[in-house]
Amino acid sequence: MGSTVLVTGAAGFIGMHVSRRLLAEGHRVIGVDSLNDYYDPALKQARVAQIEGKAGFGFHRLDIADAQGVDALFRKTRPQHVVHLAAQAGVRYALSRPFAYVDSNLMGSTAILEACRHHGVRHLVFASSSSVYGGNVKVPFSEADPVDHPVSFYAATKRANELMAHSYAHLFGLPVTMLRYFTVYGPWGRPDMAIWKFTEGLLAGTPIEVYAGGELSRDFTFVEDAAEATVQLLWRPPQRAPATQAETGAAVDAGSRRPDSSWAPFEVYNVGRSDPCTVNELLALLEARTGARALRRELPMQPGDVERTCADPSKLRAATGFEPRVALADGLGAFVDWFRGWRERRA
């Protein structure tokens, strides 16, 4: 068997697909999830059921904010690699429940960083978000762009995660790769996301909330593309840049330090297609796929939302030769087909 990989958020949307992809390669996967009730735990349990019987998979119900529990699990299972996807997601939920983000995204991520540090993890791949780009107006978004002005508390915690991870890479030599995912969607997706809500409303004939006239745009990434990028990068731990003058006594060319990662074994990658779509265009595609007409409820732009996202995927392509490829129309078709089956089973 290959490497032992610990995947946090294994009952989550991306986590299930990453775990399945790793198992298909012959690796041992230690799945960790709290199965909390941010959305229906039955969906999370059903995701786990898709992979629970596969050889090499073990599931542990654990809140990553439990630092002692996390350390004990690392000590017991000895993972060589970690994919840290567990997080409190959602932009609007943070307006009423900010401490959920502190507990999971800050406290929980610190527990993971500490465990990786103390248990010899070779590479930590850590989920960030396109939300860190905030109100940036230059598109496409590049990893080297400034990300100092988050417009949601969720985005602030994910930017904090990047800074926390960089400090561990620098201080302890822990190789860390941060992934800025751009609006991941597809089968087994999340009920709090627009594509799920729109499809549900179209099939049920209920009103769909549309913000800012439907002119907001997003760079949508199919989940299997996101999982592929994650796994490809897992086997490419970043290397430390040339040593500092304090270590060698010789000057180091400042140009050798990458502007998005300095000298630490640390990298940041966008995971997106660079093909944004407006909400109006998205709805039209879903109407065509479902054969239903949307009942729109027009609302103003919501606090924490951004006008657009658009990834520059060139750094990912240069590192791996891969970039997300599934066209939105094809990915929506796969989601709608899956959703119809899920809806029937739940009924």
Catalytic residue annotation: 154
List the beta bridge partners of residue 218.
277
Cis (ω within 30 of 0) for the bond into 140? yes
The position carrying tokens 């699990």 is: 73
Give the span between the Cα atoms of 80 and 77, in whole angstroms. 9
User: Hey, is 221 helix, strand or coil?
Assistant: strand
Phi and psi at 227, nearest 5°, equal: -65, -40
CA atoms within a 13 Å half-sphere pointing along the CA-CB vector of 252: 15
Contact (Cβ atoms closer than 8 angstroms) between residue 220 and residue 277: yes
Q: Give whole-number Cα distances, 51 to 12, 44, 70, 153, 233, in Å.
A: 12, 12, 22, 33, 22
Helix (H) or strand (E) holding 128: strand 123-129
